[in-house]
């Protein structure tokens, strides 16, 4: 994608913005006491930036996600500040019920295939119900890169990795939402014998509405314990959500190159202080393809 097409896409997203979500953001909040009411729109998309939010597709809804992550901004004018070097992820999520979804995705980074399931098993409620929502997410990933010809035998199962998460989220007000996301990453094969196959992270993400159309999002994930590789860093991302009648358009800057869980949680190498930052965007488009009943 050239810089001209990117600018045109941003302008199109801003032109199409409508305040269609404002009413949804208030549902279930500060209602007259009449028993527990489900709090909605804690976040506006299935991902805060990289990591999962508490949101799931509704029954019969399909969310088509196109994500781009460009090269390092610090590469300068020769690489058009990273825009010459793009990675892409395409995903489809489908709501089996209003709280259970399944999905598949493919990233050009590592030629990685994904299959995932997401279940919001507790919903936040006002008026005496649960103070938080709890969402479980599991994803299996398969590396599709060609294996090196180094004489070492590798099986197909060595390409697999898995991530399991719990998203603990609370909408504190119509404008502010916060999530805490513990994650466990398992890799069937690691590069160094001293490196652990299992890595844990603890993450947090937030959303703050600027107005009915825009919100600021952020997330950070801490590696626990620190991995063997000295060049690995904690993932830190900041972004801006643009909400429209049919899309959620997310712009962000992050130090993580990959857009799938294993990569940004356990394999981030960029350092914010060194300018190893990547600009990217996510486009979320929801279609009603099944029966809502």
CA distance 256 to 67: 13
For the chain, the structural domain boundaries read 3-145+155-288
- Answer whether 46's CB lies under 8 Å from 93's CB: yes
Question: Judging by DSSP bridges, how do beta strands 112-122 and 160-171 pair with one another?
Answer: unpaired
Highest mean pLDDT: which range of 21-35, 38-52, 194-208: 38-52
Tally of CA atoms within 13 A in the half-sphere of 26 that contains its CB: 9
Read off the pLDDT of residues 150-179 as tens digits, 9 standing for 90 and up. Answer: 656 567 788 899 999 999 999 999 999 999
Are 123 and 133 in contact by the 8 Å Cβ rule? The answer is yes
| pLDDT > 90 in the chain, percent | 65
120-137 residue pLDDT tens:
999 999 988 899 999 999
Is 3-145+155-288 in CATH node 3.30.160.270? no
User: What confidence tens digit (pLDDT) does each residue in 207-264 have?
Assistant: 999 998 999 999 999 998 766 666 889 999 999 999 987 789 999 999 999 999 999 9
pLDDT at 164: 98
Q: Which of 109, 119, 110, 168 is nearest to 139 (CA)?
A: 119
In the predicted model, what is the mean pLDDT of the chain?
86
For the entire predicted model, the pTM comes to 0.85
Residue 247 and residue 283 in contact, taking contact as beta carbons nearer than 8 Å: yes
Task: For residue 44, give the nearest of 293, 212, 164, 274 by alpha carbon.
Answer: 212
Relative to beta strand 86-95, strand 61-72 is antiparallel
Question: Per DSSP, which regions of the chain are E strands?
Answer: 37-38, 61-72, 86-95, 100-107, 112-122, 125-126, 133-142, 160-171, 176-187, 198-209, 214-224, 235-243, 247-254, 278-288
Residue 45's pLDDT is 94
What's the alpha-carbon Rg for the chain, to the nearest Å?
A: 19
């Amino acid at each position: 994608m050239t810089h001209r097409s990117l600018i045109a896409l941003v302008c199109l997203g801003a032109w199409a913005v409508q305040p269609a979500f404002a009413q949804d953001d208030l549902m279930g909040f500060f209602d007259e006491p009449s028993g527990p009411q489900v709090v909605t729109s804690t976040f506006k998309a299935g991902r805060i930036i990289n990591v999962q939010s508490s949101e799931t597709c509704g029954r019969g809804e399909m969310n088509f996600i196109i994500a781009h992550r460009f090269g390092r901004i610090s590469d300068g004018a020769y690489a058009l500040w990273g825009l010459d070097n793009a990675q892409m992820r395409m995903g489809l999520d489908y709501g089996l019920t209003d709280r259970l979804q399944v999905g598949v995705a493919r990233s050009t980074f590592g030629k990685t295939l994904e299959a995932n399931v997401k279940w919001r098993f507790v919903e936040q409620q006002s008026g005496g119900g649960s103070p938080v929502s709890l969402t479980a997410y599991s994803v299996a990933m398969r590396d599709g890169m060609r294996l090196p010809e180094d004489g070492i035998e590798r099986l197909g199962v060595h390409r697999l990795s898995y991530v399991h998460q719990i998203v603990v989220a609370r909408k504190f007000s119509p404008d502010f939402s916060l999530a805490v996301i513990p994650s466990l990453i398992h890799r069937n094969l690691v590069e160094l014998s001293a490196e652990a196959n299992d890595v844990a992270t603890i993450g947090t993400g937030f959303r703050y509405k600027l107005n009915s159309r825009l919100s600021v999002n952020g997330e950070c994930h801490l590696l626990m314990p620190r991995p063997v590789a000295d060049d690995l860093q904690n993932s830190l991302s900041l972004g801006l959500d643009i909400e429209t009648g049919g899309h959620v358009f997310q712009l962000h800057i992050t130090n993580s190159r990959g857009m799938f869980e294993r990569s940004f949680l356990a394999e981030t190498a960029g350092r914010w202080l060194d300018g190893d930052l990547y600009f990217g965007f996510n486009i979320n488009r929801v279609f009603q393809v099944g029966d809502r009943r």
